[in-house]
Amino acid sequence: MAKMFAEERRKRILELLQERKRVTIQQLAEAIRVSDATLRNDLTTLEKQKLLKRTHGGAILGDDFENDYNFSVRELKNKNEKTLIAQKALQLISDNQCIMLDASSTAMELAKQLVNVKKRLTIVTNGMNTAFELNGNPDFTIILIGGIIQKSSMALEGSLGVNLLDKINIDTFFVSANGFTTLQGLQDFSVYEVELKKQMIKQSSKVVALLDHSKFNKTSIATFASIQDIDFIITNKPVDTAQMNEMLNFNKGLSIIYP
């Protein structure tokens, strides 16, 4: 077995936990083939991110993992805030554009509002639910990026969609994240979706981060975009002055939008 990077190990730990609900250090060592000390460090990191809970000799799933991984749960979380963010995001969309939406619940809220807009648009997404929602508008051309279906989130993940992305020029990419900090940028808990999102960022002329207040100063497993990659941040309430100044210090062209 090839040596795994830390992010890959932690992704595998969460996958095993999702399958079994609880795991021991011994079970993880047999599955991943690294030392007990390395696994304990991984479990400590994931516990700090509230994705699991340490137990004597192992771990169980944390509440945040269950809530963040399940799309139907995420869709209900901070719903009013997501509605406000989606309303602001609509103002950045023009007729005849090619835009892209990720598979997040915030992007899904944008899709629900966008489907009634009278514009001709080409819309690229890796979200199956998002694609089905947008398909209700006859003036939209919907492109669904291929990949492996993540059943709980209904996202298409992995590198299979990269070849398609190479052939498309995206005007604006609307993307959310599991967490955001000024220094670490936009982060997610799925290593495979992170790799796809990196390519989505690369193919986009503008990047709009859709972040409700709960995403700020929260970290996750892997980064897919630095603050320098972001053109707009849309959130549901004013950002703390100190953090706003810090963000603008790293990216002077950043626009921060809120109701």
DSSP 166-228: TT--EEEEEE--SEEETTTEEEES-HHHHHHHHHHHHTEEEEEEE--GGGBT---SEEEE-GG
The pLDDT > 90 percentage for the chain reads: 63
Average pLDDT over residues 195-207: 94
Nearest C-alpha neighbor of 176 from the set 70, 62, 82, 76: 82
| pLDDT tier, 154 (very low <50, low <70, confident <90, very high otherwise) | low
| pLDDT tier, 75 (very low <50, low <70, confident <90, very high otherwise) | low
Within 8 A by CB and 6+ apart from 34, the residues are 4, 9
The CB density around residue 128, as the number of other CB atoms within 10 Å, is 17
Judge if pTM exceeds 0.85: no
Q: What is the model's pLDDT at position 161?
A: 65
Average pLDDT over residues 122-136: 94
Q: Which domains, from first to last, does the chain contain?
A: 6-69 (1.10.10.10), 72-257 (3.40.50.1360)
Within 8 A by CB and 6+ apart from 36, the residues are 25, 29
According to DSSP, the β-strands at 98-101 and 58-61 are: unpaired
Q: What is the model's pLDDT at position 207?
A: 99
